[in-house]
Amino acid sequence: MTPAIFGLSGLTLSADERAFFRDADPAGYILFGRNVQDRAQVRALTDALRAIHGRERLYITIDQEGGRVARMKPPVWTAYPPGGAFDRLYDLAPASAIEAARDNAEALGHDLAEVGITADCHPPLDLRHPGAHDIVGDRAFGADPMQVAALGRAVLQGLARAGIVGCIKHIPGHGRAMADSHKELPTVEAGEEELERDIAPFRTLCDTPFGMTAHVRYTAWDAENPATLSPYVIREIIRGRIGFTGLLMTDDLDMQALSGSVPELAERAVAAGCDIALNCWAKMDDMIGIAERLPAMSAEAAAKLDRALASVAEAGATGTHAELLAKRDALLALAG
Q: What integer pLDDT is reported at residue 152 of this predicted model?
A: 98
Q: What share of the chain is helix, strand, coil (3-state, %, to 5)?
A: 45, 15, 40
Using alpha carbons, list the distances in angstroms from residue 132 to 126, 137, 143, 174, 227. 12, 8, 12, 10, 18
Q: Is the dihedral of CA 35, 36, 37, 38 positive or negative?
A: positive
Provide the β-strand partners of residue 188.
218
Cα 107 from Cα 216, distance rounded (Å): 32
- What is the separation, in whole angstroms, between the first and last Cα of the chain? 50
Q: What integer pLDDT is reported at residue 178 of this predicted model?
A: 79
Cα 321 from Cα 329, distance rounded (Å): 12
Tens digit of pLDDT at every position of the chain (336 positions): 999 999 999 999 999 999 999 999 999 999 999 999 999 999 999 999 999 988 888 999 999 999 999 999 999 999 999 999 999 999 999 999 999 999 999 999 999 999 999 999 999 999 999 888 888 989 999 999 999 999 999 999 999 999 999 999 999 999 998 787 887 899 999 999 999 999 999 999 999 999 999 999 999 999 999 999 999 999 999 999 999 999 999 999 998 879 899 999 999 999 999 999 999 999 999 999 999 999 999 999 999 999 999 988 766 778 899 999 999 999 999 987
Q: What integer pLDDT is reported at residue 135 of this predicted model?
A: 86
- Burial class of 292 by CB neighbour count within 10 A (0 to 12, 13 to 18, 19+): exposed
Q: What integer pLDDT is reported at residue 130 of this predicted model?
A: 87
Q: What integer pLDDT is reported at residue 262 of this predicted model?
A: 96
Is the CB of residue 143 less than 8 Å from the CB of residue 128?
A: yes
Q: What integer pLDDT is reported at residue 315 of this predicted model?
A: 67
Using alpha carbons, list the distances in angstroms from residue 320 to 78, 129, 326. 14, 36, 10
Is the CB of residue 58 less than 8 Å from the CB of residue 28?
A: yes
φ, ψ of residue 60 to 5 degrees: the values are -125, 115
Q: Is 251 marked active-site?
A: yes
Q: What integer pLDDT is reported at residue 316 of this predicted model?
A: 79
The active-site residue out of 182, 207, 285, 329 is 182
Predicted TM-score (pTM) of this structure: 0.96
Cis peptide before 231 (omega within 30 of 0): no
Provide the β-strand partners of residue 29.
6, 60
The active-site residue out of 87, 198, 222, 251 is 251
Q: What integer pLDDT is reported at residue 177 of this predicted model?
A: 87
Amino acid present at 44: A
CA angle (90 as vertex; 86, 96 as ends), nearest 5: 85
- Write down all domains in the chain, each with its CATH number in brackets: 2-335 (3.20.20.300)
Q: Which helix (H) or strand (E) holds 229?
A: none
Determine if residue 131 is left, alpha or beta; phi over 0 gives left, psi from -120 to 50 gives alpha, anything else beta: left
Cα 61 from Cα 31, distance rounded (Å): 6
Q: Is the dihedral of CA 174, 278, 68, 106 positive or negative?
A: negative
Q: What integer pLDDT is reported at residue 150 of this predicted model?
A: 98
E strands, 230-321, are 247-252, 276-279
Q: Is 182 marked active-site?
A: yes
